[in-house]
């Protein structure tokens, strides 16, 4: 379709598809980061929530009472409604956890290691952890860690990263709006005579604005497609690389279908924003004329 206003040849507008492409690329990556962090945070929460750790620390009583106190703690735990399971962690497993820090040759058996009990709560009916901690605290050297503080810090970190990522996405879109407004104003100035002719033969402002909207649509499709392809390639490469790393704490770096759908919406959203920005700019500029 030939536009009445020759917008396609404008020098200022020629770079717009490239700019939209870069912005869509960055926005898509920003959004993907936010989505990955949200999903990692959820995973951490679901993994850690509903579990707790009871630690039986050595106390200076002249003899080793760790096993006796562990037995008392187990009795308290198993008698508490809402506790699904309470399993002592074998000492060799505790030692295995320490081996990376102490080295293979170190004799860890001589260390006064605490006894550890893994506790799982019933998801539908978890116990009052504060009351449980108080009951366990009556046994010397016994403490309950319900992972709350750790989870709160983790959730705080995830929220911060998510917020920053979304703020970056918002800034990218604001920059894109500013770019579209600037190029639209420039194009209006360049084609002032044609716009005046259209006005004088009876074109409504909306008809003229439609020309700029269609041009923004064309730029959005071109730039958006390029930016999306580049972003998809980057995310697939990142996911493929992350698959070869065996680190349980590392968040999953593969997007789910619904998350891919959100990323695919970025160029559509960018195009819609570009069209709206172009339309509003033209209408506001023309409204100042006769």
Partner 1 sequence: MAGGEIVRFQRVGMRYGLGAEVLHDISFRLQAGSFHFLTGPSGAGKSSLLRLMFLAHRPSRGLISLFGREIATVPRREFPALRRRIGVVFQDFRLIGHLSALENVALPLRVAGGREHQVHDHVAELLRWVELDEQIHVRPSILSGGQQQRIAIARAVIGRPQLLLADEPTGNVDDRIALRLMHLFEELNKIGTTIVIATHNESLMERFPYPVMRLKNGELLDGGDS
Question: Which chain residues interact with partner 1 by CB under 8 A?
Answer: 2, 4-6, 9, 193-194, 196-204, 207, 287, 290
Minimum CB separation of residue 205 from partner 1 in Å reads: 8
Q: Which is nearer to partner 1, 10 or 118 (CB)?
A: 10
Q: Which is nearer to partner 1, 8 or 96 (CB)?
A: 8
- Smallest CA-to-CA distance from 37 within 156, 161, 168 is with 161
- How does strand 142-145 pair with strand 83-89? unpaired
Minimum CB separation of residue 189 from partner 1 in Å reads: 17
Beta bridge partners of 119: 52, 86
Q: Which is nearer to partner 1, 115 or 210 (CB)?
A: 210
Give the three-class secondary structure for 139: coil
Q: Which is nearer to partner 1, 150 or 207 (CB)?
A: 207
Minimum CB separation of residue 6 from partner 1 in Å reads: 4
* DSSP category for residue 249: T
Rounded to an integer, what distance in angstroms lies between the CA atom of residue 220 and that of residue 274? 7
Minimum CB separation of residue 12 from partner 1 in Å reads: 17
Minimum CB separation of residue 9 from partner 1 in Å reads: 8
Minimum CB separation of residue 182 from partner 1 in Å reads: 23
Angle between helices 205-243 and 148-190 (to 10 degrees): 140
Beta bridge partners of 120: 51, 85
- Smallest CA-to-CA distance from 31 within 232, 177, 244, 176 is with 232
Rounded to an integer, what distance in angstroms lies between the CA atom of residue 280 and that of residue 269? 16
Q: Which is nearer to partner 1, 63 or 288 (CB)?
A: 288
Burial class (CB in 10 A: 0-12, 13-18, 19+), 174: exposed
Minimum CB separation of residue 2 from partner 1 in Å reads: 7
Rounded to an integer, what distance in angstroms lies between the CA atom of residue 290 and that of residue 163? 46
In angstroms, the Cα distances linking 114 to 59, 65, 101, 237, 262 are: 10, 11, 16, 43, 47
Q: Which is nearer to partner 1, 42 or 289 (CB)?
A: 289
């Amino acid at each position: 379709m030939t536009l009445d206003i020759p917008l396609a040849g404008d020098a200022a507008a020629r770079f717009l598809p490239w700019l939209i492409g870069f912005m869509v690329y960055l926005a898509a990556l920003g959004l993907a980061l936010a989505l990955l962090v949200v999903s990692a945070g959820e995973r951490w929460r679901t993994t850690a929530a509903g579990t707790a750790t009871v630690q039986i620390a050595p106390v200076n009583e002249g003899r080793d009472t760790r096993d006796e106190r562990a037995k008392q703690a187990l009795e308290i735990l198993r008698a508490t409604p809402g506790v699904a399971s309470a399993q002592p962690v074998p000492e060799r497993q505790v030692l295995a956890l320490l081996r990376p820090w102490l080295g293979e040759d170190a004799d860890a058996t001589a260390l006064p290691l605490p006894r550890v009990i893994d506790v799982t709560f019933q998801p539908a009916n978890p116990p009052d952890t504060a009351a449980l901690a108080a009951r366990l605290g009556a046994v010397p050297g016994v403490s309950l860690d319900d992972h709350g503080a750790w989870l709160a810090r983790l959730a705080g970190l995830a929220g911060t990263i998510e917020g920053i990522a979304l703020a970056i996405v918002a800034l990218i879109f604001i920059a894109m709006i500013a770019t579209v407004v600037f190029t639209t104003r420039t194009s209006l100035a360049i084609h002032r005579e044609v716009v005046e002719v259209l006005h004088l033969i009876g074109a409504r402002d909306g008809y003229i604005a439609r020309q700029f909207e269609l041009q923004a649509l064309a730029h959005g499709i071109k730039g958006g497609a390029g930016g999306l392809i580049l972003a998809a390639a980057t995310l697939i490469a990142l996911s493929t690389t992350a698959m070869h790393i065996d680190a349980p704490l590392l968040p999953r770096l593969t997007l789910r279908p619904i998350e891919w759908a959100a990323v695919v919406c970025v160029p559509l959203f960018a195009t819609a924003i570009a069209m709206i920005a172009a339309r509003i700019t033209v209408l506001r500029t023309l409204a100042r004329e006769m």
